[in-house]
Amino acid sequence: MPRLIIVSNRLPMSLDAQEDGSYSLKQNVGGLATAIGPYHRSHHDCLWVGWSGEDPAEHTEEEIEAMRSTYEENRCVPLFLSAEQVSGFYAGFSNNTLWPLLHDFSHEAVFDPNTWETYSQVNQLFADALAPLIHKGDTVWVQDYHLMLLPNMLRQRFSDISIGWFLHVPFPSPEIFRSLPQSRDILRGVLGADLLGFHTVDFVENFKSCVQQLLDIEVDEAGRVAVDESHTATIDAFPIGIDYNLYRRTTSSSLARAMRRGIEEQSGKRPGRRYNTSLSAESSAAEEAARKSGSWWSHHVHEELPELTLAQSALFGKDSKPNKVVVSVDRLDYTKGLPERLRAFERLLEKYPEWTGHVTYYLLATPSRGDVETYRRLKQQVDQLVGKINGRFSMLAWTPIHYITRSLPIKPVCGIYAAGDVALVTPLRDGMNLVAKEYLACHDGREGALVLSDMCGAAKELTEAFIVNPYDIEMTCEALHDALEISPEESTRRNRAMQARIKARTAGTWCAGFLDALLQVSDPGLDDKRL
């Protein structure tokens, strides 16, 4: 039976060592794993080949065997790369050269012939690892920028398989891409695939222009490129979706509900921990009133330190704001625009002081790619900014930003999304951005406002969101203010339109759509060869 083999640098799950020497698997963070993971789990004839993330030099042979079999039980085939290979291939060429270049951050891109050498070798190593697994008629679906040479390496070795390749990040204009010394090798590498997929039509157009300008090969109206006499590649857009029902359903799980409740209590949105301490027997009527209105202790402290208790005293005022929660969920990546977003939040507190004490930002940001210097610097910068803003605006019973730097499983993540009156999703550049879609799925049929960057693929579909230029701090601050002020009716109305769209184009329909298109464009003789 022909099989589907998915290949990506990182497997969708990573290993967790248990005390008894065995291993369990946990879901990895990132759009690729989130989108394709459920398809792989539910298709029992589908294999996934990728890097385990483990250094073989740090483990005994028995440990490696135990890791391998844990993966194999879940239809994953792990590759073990040495520290040197990881440094040149992953941290080096993939994340220090291609990632910034593809995201239009060419000033961050490092061009080093040694890392290119290792990148080619590791792509070859993937081809070697795949060779014994591939049978006539199989489909091999290569993912992302780490493996851009692999499609052509496979084509040279196998004439009777279908090869697909999908890029999960943006593709830049030729003016940017041509600065890469190996740009032509990379283009030839991916053109080995039968079908090349991108998130948006704009990225498709950029790629086509690169093929025309750098390789001097024509691309026809239908996106077909005659690479040589025996091979034609097709280029098209396949905007990725999410498993909508999974996020909608998970939002009602007990852990997600507990997380949501905790955040709502903490932020003062519902009575609870933040204010709910019993009063002494001799509490005055004023204190009792204060307690009922949710500010039990401010009465005492406010007389002495009004500037520290503004948040609570404001609750008594006629123009008092309701308490609101802002959320975001990201890998700590410089493309996600975290410093700019924090400055916009700071600006909101500065420009609209009436929000002081009433808006709390839950910022879930998992450190990523710590072996790359730019990422380490970003982490420091975000740590400092959060500290600075919290130091500047905190009150006794209110901290403006709750900063969580661990990666959480899907249930608490859905709880965070569900608690958010507003989601701030403002990448400086992003292929699609699944977080925006996940937030809306967790607000199925109800209010919740999305502030969304116009620099990501998702902005093309989620047009009813508050769309901002993420570099424009004043604009993001104003959009955040408007999103906090929007009526539940208007917000629900906007969401319904966006939710209908993302419900119709899920991760599952995306996978099936790409694979169907791949079958259609693969060598016309292939179906005969399969029989």
Q: Which ranges of 93-149 would DSSP assign to H, the alpha helix?
A: 99-102, 113-130
Nearer to ligand G6P (CB atom), residue 12 or residue 223: 12
The item of ligand G6P, ligand ADP, none sharing an interface with residue 426, based on CB under 5 to 8 Å by kind, is: none
Nearer to ligand G6P (CB atom), residue 243 or residue 444: 243
Residue 136 to residues 87, 130, 131, Cα–Cα distance (Å): 34, 13, 11
Decide: is 432 part of the binding site for ligand ADP (CB under 6 A): yes
Decide: is 433 part of the binding site for ligand ADP (CB under 6 A): yes
Decide: is 31 part of the binding site for ligand G6P (CB under 6 A): yes
Catalytic site includes residue 168: yes
Q: How far is the CB of 51 from ligand ADP (least distance, A)?
A: 16
Q: How far is the CB of 457 from ligand ADP (least distance, A)?
A: 9
The residue from 103, 208, 260, 331 that contacts ligand ADP (CB under 6 A) is: 331
SS3 267: coil
Catalytic site includes residue 299: no
Decide: is 197 part of the binding site for ligand ADP (CB under 6 A): no
Residues 6+ apart with CB under 8 A from 438: 242, 247, 329, 413, 414, 417
The item of ligand G6P, ligand ADP, none sharing an interface with residue 309, based on CB under 5 to 8 Å by kind, is: none
Window 29-48: residues binding ligand ADP (CB under 6 A): 29-31, 34
Here's the x/- map for ligand ADP, 377-416, by CB under 6 A: it reads as: ------------------------------xx----x---
Decide: is 364 part of the binding site for ligand ADP (CB under 6 A): yes
Decide: is 294 part of the binding site for ligand G6P (CB under 6 A): no
Angle at 454 between CA 451 and CA 459, to 5 degrees: 80
Decide: is 438 part of the binding site for ligand ADP (CB under 6 A): yes
Window 150-179: residues binding ligand G6P (CB under 6 A): 168-169
In the block, tokens 């499609």 appear at 151
SS3 272: coil
Q: In sequence order, what are the beta bridge partners of 79?
A: 51
Decide: is 369 part of the binding site for ligand G6P (CB under 6 A): yes
Decide: is 368 part of the binding site for ligand G6P (CB under 6 A): yes
Burial class (CB in 10 A: 0-12, 13-18, 19+), 431: buried
- From the list 144, 194, 430, 444, the catalytic residue is 430
Nearer to ligand ADP (CB atom), residue 169 or residue 187: 169
In the block, tokens 């890392």 appear at 115
The residue from 5, 13, 32, 191 that contacts ligand G6P (CB under 6 A) is: 32
The item of ligand ADP, ligand G6P, none sharing an interface with residue 27, based on CB under 5 to 8 Å by kind, is: none
- Half-sphere exposure at residue 336, Cβ-oriented, CA atoms within 13 angstroms: 26
Candidates 369, 466, 396; CA nearest to 425 is 466
Residues in the chain, how many?
Answer: 531
Candidates 75, 86, 67; CA nearest to 16 is 67
The residue from 54, 138, 144, 264 that contacts ligand G6P (CB under 6 A) is: 144
Q: What is the DSSP letter of 194?
A: S
- From the list 40, 168, 302, 402, the catalytic residue is 168
216: left (phi over 0), alpha (psi -120 to 50) or beta: left
CB atoms within 10 A of CB 409: 11
Residue 285 to residues 277, 280, 296, Cα–Cα distance (Å): 16, 12, 11
Enzyme catalytic residues: 168, 430
* Residues that bind ligand ADP in the complex, under the rule CB under 6 A: 29-31, 34, 329-331, 364, 366, 407-408, 413, 432-435, 438
